[in-house]
Amino acid sequence: MKKQILFLLFINSFLGLNAQSDNDMLINQTFISMIGSVCEETPDDNPCAGLEIFLILNFNEDNVSVIEKEVSSCGIDNIISTLDYKWKLTENYEIKIHNDPKEIEYDFLKNLVIKVENGKVTGYTKRGNKITDKIEFKKINIK
């Protein structure tokens, strides 16, 4: 009986260390994903008529900055919004962002669930009631 209890304590401490290392992999790191694109019809040949929309997550120990950025097809960057919130990594590896629903303009962000899976940051969002999109974030270095 004592061996079983010791084994369970050992497994529990290992799982706690694993969650801590996942938490550490997020702190002071930045992740980015393209979440959409827009192309506008124009009467003339306009190389800047399109844009890509990116979601950037910049983690520090207590807060995460959620940044929405547009990049035009001619390379012009435009930060649409920057919001800072408290965050934590839950036991099921979900990144829980304590946001203010009044500040979130888009359903996309309201429905976004972000997780750490196999050492990578992955998001899931629902379109309507049926389709779930998987969003893979890539780690980037910001200088």
Identify whether the C-beta of residue 124 lies closer than 8 Å to the C-beta of residue 133. yes
Cα–Cα distance between 142 and 17 in angstroms, integer?
28
Identify whether the C-beta of residue 68 lies closer than 8 Å to the C-beta of residue 55. yes
Tens of pLDDT, residue by residue, the chain (143 residues)? 555 444 444 454 444 444 456 678 899 999 999 988 888 888 888 878 889 999 999 999 999 999 999 998 888 899 988 889 999 999 999 999 887 766 666 556 677 899 999 989 999 988 777 788 899 999 998 75
Cα–Cα distance between 11 and 7 in angstroms, integer?
6
Task: Provide the 8-state DSSP code for 93.
Answer: S
Reference 127, options 104, 110, 105, 102; nearest CA is: 110
